[in-house]
Amino acid sequence: MLLFNSILLIHFALFVYYIFRLALQFPVKNPVKDKSGPFIGLAVLVTGLALVALKYPAINYYKVIPKTALLVGIAIVNGMYGNKPMPRKAYFTVLGFTLLAAAIAVVKV
């Protein structure tokens, strides 16, 4: 249980850091992405897979599948713009997907 909680804490901290990074880019007209984005995304993915692996028989698929789809959507939008500045529509799409994934994670069903 300690391992699961430790990984969950790391996963949560990475997710909060990503949201904080997005919030810092909000007032900027065309925000430029920094180089830590792919590493944060990979770390969130790895810790999420580790959480699923540790809890395998009793997985809440109705939460895991939509959250994973949203994270894939975030990766696709980020990948489309590479090192170019992200337009406001893409920025708000990424921000919306991120907040929706966070809401799915905390909702009790």
Q: What is the largest CA-CA distance in the chain?
A: 46
Q: How many CA atoms lie within 13 A of 47 on its CB side?
A: 20
Whether the model clears a pTM of 0.75, i.e. scores above it, the answer is yes
Q: What is the pLDDT of residue 97?
A: 92
Q: What is the pLDDT of residue 26?
A: 75
> DSSP assignment, residue 29?
S
- Burial, 3: exposed, middle or buried (Cβ in 10 Å; 0-12, 13-18, 19+)? exposed
- Mean pLDDT split into 10-residue runs, the chain, 109 residues: 88 88 76 73 84 80 85 86 81 89 82
Question: Interior CA angle at 12 toward 9 and 81, to 5°?
Answer: 145
Alpha carbon 108 to its chain centroid, in Å, reads 19
* CA proximity to 95, closest of 29, 28, 39, 20: 20
Residues 6+ apart with CB under 8 A from 22: 91, 94, 95, 98
| 36 touches 102 (CB < 8 A) | no
